[in-house]
């Protein structure tokens, strides 16, 4: 059994040396990400003014792809922000920097934090709580019902549906009365009016960023620098979102219902060591740069079930197997995934 980690402040900055290292790592990560973002935007602006040609189109496709990948990295920066780990000793600055990083992808930190905190607390606790690949139905499970839920799953994962659904959910949570928000998702049980106001400000800032960019540099430049990359990112984010939890264990120990993937120089850089997702779930206060060097192994029962792959590519492809479908009245739903953790 894993021993409990020593209690540390968010970001893991316990000593002066820790704080100095954290400052260096945060500055380097933010600086290189900002520099690449500005470079991609500048390239998009220049390409938008070039006459169409085979070379221009090929270069444009490369810029759009690179920018969409960079959006994934900016999302991970927002993830560190949601955990209050980016600037742990100045939470106002932490949220401001994180929101700046997520302006292009239109995600308010206030909403994301609520949803993500719920994910960590209740991840796959049972077959209907925070288990995206499990569909609970009141219908008799026939071939047609299976086809319907498989279609929903494939659209969600491989057609950008998860991102579009998440963006639509943000809008819904900002419009519905507070008393109804928790009925839509238990993540919003402590959703306060001030949280709603802050989320409105953050979403409006994202929309203003897109509109302002278009007004200053033109619609064509906006399309190449932000619009098309956002569409590509929606697909990429949806494909990658559940690879660390797909078909993993279901049970009361939510921090173990997860898998880690092998380190890969590009994916590890792009996603800031997100491949060490099991360590992140077991010790969510550890900052991104510590995850590989302080890696934690899953308990044996979870490791045997969840670590059926360590490859990013295989984790993506195996999602073609589709979802798990259970009937709501089944007393033992998804028994092949259930693990009971004994403390």
The alpha carbon dihedral of 139, 140, 143, 149 has a sign of positive
Q: Partners of 126 in the beta sheet?
A: 129
Residue 325 in 3-state DSSP? strand
Rounded distance between C-alpha atoms, residue 39 and residue 171, angstroms: 31
Pairing, β 134-137 against β 324-327 = parallel
The reply to whether 9 falls in a domain is no
The reply to whether 257 falls in a domain is yes
What percent of the chain has a predicted confidence (pLDDT) above 70?
A: 95
Residue 51 in 3-state DSSP? coil
The reply to whether 150 falls in a domain is yes
Average pLDDT over residues 19-36: 96
The reply to whether 161 falls in a domain is yes
The reply to whether 4 falls in a domain is no
Rounded distance between C-alpha atoms, residue 225 and residue 209, angstroms: 12
Could you read off the pLDDT of 267-298 as tens digits, one per residue? 999 999 999 999 999 999 999 999 999 999 99
Smallest Cα–Cα separation from 325: which of 186, 185, 147? 147
Rounded distance between C-alpha atoms, residue 94 and residue 97, angstroms: 5
The reply to whether 303 falls in a domain is yes
Rounded distance between C-alpha atoms, residue 30 and residue 74, angstroms: 9
Q: What's the pLDDT score for residue 28?
A: 97
Rounded distance between C-alpha atoms, residue 29 and residue 27, angstroms: 6
Average pLDDT over residues 82-88: 95
- pLDDT > 70? residue 12: no
Tell me the residue range of the domain where 127 lies: 16-327
Q: 169: number of CA atoms within 13 Å, CB side? A: 18
The reply to whether 215 falls in a domain is yes
Please enumerate in sequence order all residues whose Cβ is within 8 A of that of 211, keeping only pairs 6 or more positions apart, or say none.
Answer: none
What percent of the chain has a predicted confidence (pLDDT) above 90?
A: 78
- pLDDT > 70? residue 103: yes
Rounded distance between C-alpha atoms, residue 136 and residue 153, angstroms: 13
Could you read off the pLDDT of 192-231 as tens digits, one per residue? 888 889 999 999 999 999 999 999 999 999 999 999 999 9
Q: Provide the domain count of the chain.
A: 1
In whole angstroms, how far apart are CA 70 and each of 82, 104, 128, 130? 18, 11, 33, 27
Q: Partners of 324 in the beta sheet?
A: 134
């Amino acid at each position: 059994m894993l021993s409990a980690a020593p209690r540390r402040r968010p970001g893991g900055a316990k000593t002066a040396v820790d704080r100095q290292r954290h400052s260096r790592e945060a500055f380097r990560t933010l600086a290189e990400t900002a520099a690449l973002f500005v470079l991609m935007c500048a390239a998009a602006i220049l390409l938008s003014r070039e006459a169409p040609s085979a070379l221009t189109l090929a270069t444009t496709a490369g810029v759009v792809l690179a920018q969409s990948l960079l959006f994934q990295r900016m999302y991970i920066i927002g993830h560190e922000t949601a955990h209050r780990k980016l600037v742990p000793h100045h939470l106002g600055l932490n949220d401001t920097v994180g929101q700046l990083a997520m302006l292009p992808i239109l995600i308010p930190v206030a909403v994301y934090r609520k949803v993500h905190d719920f994910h960590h607390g209740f991840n796959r606790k049972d077959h209907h709580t925070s288990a995206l690949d499990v569909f609970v139905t009141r219908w008799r499970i026939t071939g047609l019902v299976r086809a319907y839920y498989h279609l929903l799953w494939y659209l969600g994962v491989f057609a950008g549906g998860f991102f579009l659904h998440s963006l639509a959910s943000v809008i819904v949570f900002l419009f519905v009365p507070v008393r109804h928000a928790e009925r839509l998702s238990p993540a919003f049980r402590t959703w306060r009016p001030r949280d709603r106001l802050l989320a409105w400000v953050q979403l409006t800032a994202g929309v203003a960023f897109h509109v302002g960019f278009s007004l200053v540099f033109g619609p064509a430049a906006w399309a190449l620098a932000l619009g098309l990359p956002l569409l590509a990112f929606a697909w990429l984010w949806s494909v990658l979102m559940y690879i660390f939890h797909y078909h993993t264990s279901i049970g009361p120990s939510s921090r173990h219902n997860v898998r880690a993937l092998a380190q890969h120089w590009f994916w590890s850089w792009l996603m800031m060591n997100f491949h060490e997702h099991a360590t992140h779930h077991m010790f969510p206060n550890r900052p991104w740069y510590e995850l590989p060097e302080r890696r934690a192994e899953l308990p044996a029962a979870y490791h045997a079930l969840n670590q059926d792959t360590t490859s990013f590519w295989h984790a993506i492809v195996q999602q073609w197997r589709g979802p798990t479908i259970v009937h709501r009245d089944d007393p033992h739903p998804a028994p092949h995934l259930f693990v009971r953790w004994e403390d």
